[in-house]
Structure formats: structure tokens, C-alpha cells
Amino acid sequence: MRVAVFHPGAMGSKLAAQLVAAGHEVQWVPEGRSEASKARADEAGLIGTSFAEAVGGAEAVLCSCAPQGAVEIARQVGREGFGGIYIEANPLSPMSLREAQSAVPDATFVDAGVVGPPPTGGPSPTHLMLSGTAAEQVAALWAGTAVTPMVVGSEPGAASAAKSSYALYNKGKAALAVLAFQLAEKHGVTDALTAQQIRADAGSLKDPALPEQLRSVAWRWGPEFDELAETLDDAGLEGDAARALRQVWTKLT
């Protein structure tokens, strides 16, 4: 199958590389992208082309980017009259997901969410949550690769909910760990905090360099927590909890 990917970041390039490994032709648009993006695309075996050619010749479009750019990409693809399978693989709230879906009215829309690290065949699996009428068809694209597709529902929204649930837990505890290290540092007791790593529930409290390590991802984790807050609101749950943790990433940016 011919697939267009927008835009090959750390996760999108690895998802696309697995599609190439499975025998699919994957195109991307290098115009306006950074040298780092171009290097990732080259490593993944992607074919550079214009936006119109990438969308016009694609049977499927994979959108994997920072959440703040997802709806606009859908609009750009929709304006080209794309009528294939649109795979929305960004952590979006129900409202943002509906906006993305409505932006590609001629496409078959599949909701997707990635749980785990970029797929490389390492010990930690990469699960690709999928929901929608063409979810099984999309799952087959990654057959035999380092990506493990999981069809979780027949309607868009289920995959995003599965992704959001895990992200809230996993990245939420990371935000709490950052706050814990910052509080300990303020009082000069970081060693006392890291000494608790012997406890089974210590989790992320083993490395006092964690706040600095997470600085590089704060620019996209912050908007993801905006989407998580709206997702919790939509479910009648405590969206303000995610809004408070969002400030951790704001201050790290």
C-alpha cells in the first residue's frame, strides 16, 4: 500500500519505518522540515515528495505529530479531497478528534494511539491502539513488524481513550516525580528523596536528573496534557488534575 506520513518525528518516523519494513511505499513532505526530520526520514527509507503528490497518490495517510498540529494537518489533507484511510495517531481529546474527523469528510477515519516507545524491536512493546470501521485493515499494515496493533473498538474515540488513560498514568507520575525532585532540591534533601528508591513504590524517584531529562519532551507533553484535561472533562472526571500537572511541563519548556 502507498502511505503518506505527516510528519516523521521521533515516533512517526519509527512507525513509518516499520511500514517500509513491511513492504509498503511511504512518502513524506520534506519542504519546510528540519535537518533532523530529513535525517530521520532518510533513515526510515521514506520517499520525499510534494504535499499534493503525497496525498494524491496515497491510499492511506498516517498523521503522527505533536497534538497541537494534528487538526491542521487533517484540514490540509481534507482540502486535497483525500478519500482513502486517514489514520489519526495523535493524543487528542474527543473534541479535537471530532474536528480532525470532520476535516477529512471523504476519508475513512481510523482513530489510533501509540502506547510505548518508538518501535525498534526492543524489550518494551509498542502497542498501536486502533478503532474505527477500517481498524482491522489498518492493523494489517503493520503485520509482522515491531508494532503490535490492538483493535479496541469499532468507533473513533476508543483508541484515543485507551491511549489517554495510559498517558495520564504514565506521564502524570513523571510530572509528580519532577515536582518531588524540585521540592526536595528547594529544601536541600534530594539525597534523602533518592534514598527511597529501595522501596517498591519509588517508581521514577531513582534519578535526580529526571527533570532535566524531560525538558526535551515538555514542549509536546504540555499540549498533550491540555488534551487530557479536555478528555477528563468530557468523561465527567477531574480535568483540573491534568491542568495542574500541565504547569510542570510549561515551566520545563
- At 63-100, the pLDDT tens digits run 999 899 999 999 999 999 999 999 999 999 999 999 99
% the chain with pLDDT above 70: 100
pTM: 0.94
- Report all structural domains of the chain as residue ranges with CATH numbers, in order of start: 2-154 (3.40.50.720), 162-252 (1.10.1040)
Whole-number pLDDT of residue 79: 98
Q: How confident is the model at residue 203 (pLDDT cuts 50, 70, 90)?
A: confident
Is residue 217 exposed (0-12), middle (13-18) or buried (19+ Cβ within 10 Å)? middle
Q: Residue 49 pLDDT > 90, yes or no?
A: yes
Is residue 67 within 8 Å of residue 90, measured between CB atoms?
A: yes
Q: What is the dihedral of CA 33, 35, 39, 40, to 10 degrees?
A: -50
